[in-house]
Amino acid sequence: LPRDLDLGSLGFDRGAHVLVKHALHDLEIGDRLRVVGTSAELPVHLRAWCRAQGHGFEPGGQGGDVVRGAAEAGRWKGSERTGHPDPAREGAVVPHPPGRWGLAARGARVEAGGPDFRFGLSAKDVVWAEEIPRLYAQAAAAQWDPAKAIPWDTPFQLPDEIEDAVVQVMTYLIENETAALILPAKFAGDLHPHFREVMQLLAIQAADEARHIEVFTRRAVLRKGTPGLSTVGGQASLKTLLDEPDFALAMFLLSVLGEGSFLSLLWFMRDNAPDPVTREVATLTAQDEARHVAFGLAHLSRHVGLHPEMRGRLAAAIQERHAALQQTAGLNEEVFDALVLLAAGEWDPEAIGRGHDRVAALQQEMGEGREKRLRRLGFGEEEARTLSELHTRNFM
């Protein structure tokens, strides 16, 4: 026996299909729904709707019988299920999501015949790591408010040259953080949204860098009103990062080597900060950087694990960058001297000597950190040391 649906005077011009759909919902394929109503166009509209949706139709009376079709008929014929929202599920994240899945939520059913999007980063092997959903959740939970997290109003008094040294280091940090914002933002725009958690992590990493640029700028201009010096060597080093079109190579140079070295630098700034504002700025930014380094290591170790030949390309990227920067000065003297003075704390031969030793120890620590991370990517001890030593003198 067919079920009955009386639409009254409601026509397809005012939403009758919503009621028809609802009535069909519980029916099995092949079951009938008798639809009646007083709208003059009802039989014509009902027939057209049934054809579009893949249901059978038999006219009769003031409406007709709808014979429920297969779920995948009509508009949804040829549609595809796009993985699953939970990345931990088997098959949730596919190796090569097609461009036609476009911007759809992962796990959504996508209608056939949609536009073909061109995402340059659409291979799971290149972008994915199991740790990424957790790293994104950590990043989202760890967002801090620059206005409240830093004690901007705490009174402190610094000798003029110490303040200048802080301003110079902040100025240097800002341009490096700017490169660190541009890279993840650029790759987020080229990434297939099927890799939702990677997209989210790249976006929140860019947002982290936006905050870093803000707090370094605020500290730079806190007393003197203007930033310090920007050098050719520093900018040349950063330009090689922005010029690297390959995601894996760019993120290797930026995160594993550059941000890894910056971790040591920010800890140095925290430990040698001459004032509470600088100390807090360095402490909070270092916490974020540790996550950025973890992200880089996570996707790259998965990548080289699947494709060991990738190691040769990573090594070549370091060597090429080294060759490109050989004629530049690397770290500017002004930043180096500022770090020495901050570690010394005063103008006294003994203090300056101590400060110089600390900066040398910092550079040593940076090098060891790079070696350790290169070892984690499977490089041998000897190669890790050689490659670490070829890293830009600009640190980032």
Closest CA to 231 of 111, 377, 394: 394
Q: Of the ranges 76-84, 97-105, 152-160, 282-290, which one interacts with Fe ion (CB under 5 A)?
A: 282-290
Question: What are the two backbone dihedrals, phi and then psi, of residue 70, each rounded to the nearest 5 degrees?
Answer: -65, 150
**Residue 219 in contact with Fe ion, rule: CB under 5 A:** no
Q: Is 373 in the site for Fe ion (CB under 5 A)?
A: no
Q: Which residues fall within 8 angstroms of residue 36, CB to CB, at 6 or more apart? A: 4, 5, 6, 7, 61, 62, 63
Q: Least distance (Å) from Fe ion to the CB of residue 254? A: 8
Residue number, 64 or 258, with CB nearest to Fe ion: 258
Please tell me the distance from the alpha carbon of residue 93 to that of residue 57, in angstroms, as a whole number: 40
Within residues 234-253, the interface with Fe ion by CB under 5 A covers none
Per-residue x/- track, 292-321, Fe ion (CB under 5 A): x-----------------------------
Q: Confirm or reject binding of residue 212 to Fe ion (CB under 5 A).
A: yes
Query: Residues in contact with Fe ion, total (CB under 5 A)?
Result: 7
State in angstroms the smallest separation of the CB of 291 from Fe ion: 8
Q: Are strands 3-6 and 80-81 parallel, antiparallel or unpaired?
A: unpaired
Q: Does 391 bind Fe ion (CB under 5 A)?
A: no
User: Binding of Fe ion at residue 291 (CB under 5 A)?
Assistant: no
Residue span binding Fe ion (CB under 5 A) among the ranges 41-49, 111-119, 180-188, 189-197:
180-188
Which run of H or of E encompasses 57? strand 56-60
Q: Which is nearer to Fe ion, 82 or 237 (CB)?
A: 237
**CA angle (195, 87, 181) in 5-degree steps:** 40
Q: Which residue has the tokens 């650029």?
A: 186
If DSSP states are collapsed to H, E and C, what string results for 248-313?
HHHHHHHHHHHHHHHHHHHHHHHHHCCCHHHHHHHHHHHHHHHHHHHHHHHHHHHHHHHCCCHHHH
* β-bridge partners, 56: 67
259 binds Fe ion (CB under 5 A): yes
CB of 255 to Fe ion, least distance (A): 7
Q: How far apart are CA 341 and CA 356, in angstroms?
A: 8
| Closer residue to Fe ion, CB minimum distance, 53 or 261 | 261
* Phi, psi angle pair for 81, to nearest 5°: -85, 130
Applying CB under 5 A, the span of 6-14, 38-46, 203-211, 365-373 interacting with Fe ion comes to: 203-211
Q: Alpha carbon of 55 to those of 31, 49, 61: distances in Å? A: 10, 8, 19
Choices 25-33, 58-66, 254-262, 299-307; region in contact with Fe ion by CB under 5 A? 254-262
Q: Which is nearer to Fe ion, 16 or 191 (CB)?
A: 191
- Give 45 or 212: the residue with its C-beta nearer to Fe ion: 212
Per the structure block, which two tokens stand in for 328? 């530049």
284 binds Fe ion per the rule CB under 5 A:
no
- The residue among 121 and 180 lying less far from Fe ion, judged by its C-beta, is 180
State yes or no: residue 175 binds Fe ion (CB under 5 A).
Answer: no
**Angle at the Cα of 86 from the Cα atoms of 83 and 87, rounded to 5 degrees:** 75
Site stretch for Fe ion (CB under 5 A), options 12-20, 52-60, 149-157, 177-185: 177-185
Residues 6+ apart with CB under 8 A from 334: 168, 228, 229, 231
In this complex, which beta carbon is closest to Fe ion, that of residue 163 or of residue 209? Answer: 209
Q: Which of 65, 163, 175, 177 is the binder for Fe ion (CB under 5 A)?
A: 177
Question: Is residue 180 involved in binding Fe ion (CB under 5 A)?
Answer: yes
The interface region with Fe ion, picked from 237-245, 271-279, 285-293, 299-307 by CB under 5 A, is: 285-293
CA-closest candidate to residue 212, choices 138, 285, 286, 273? 285
User: Stretches 39-47, 290-298, 323-331, 357-365: which one binds Fe ion (CB under 5 A)?
Assistant: 290-298
Q: Which is nearer to Fe ion, 93 or 250 (CB)?
A: 250
Closest Cα to residue 127, out of 212, 248, 255, 34? Answer: 248
Q: Are 344 and 354 in contact (CB under 8 A)?
A: yes
The answer to whether 197 contacts Fe ion (rule: CB under 5 A) is no
Residues 117-156 that bind Fe ion (CB under 5 A): none
Strands 80-81 and 56-60: unpaired
The nearest distance, CB 104 to Fe ion, in angstroms, is 30
Contacts to Fe ion by CB under 5 A: 177, 180, 209, 212, 259, 289, 292
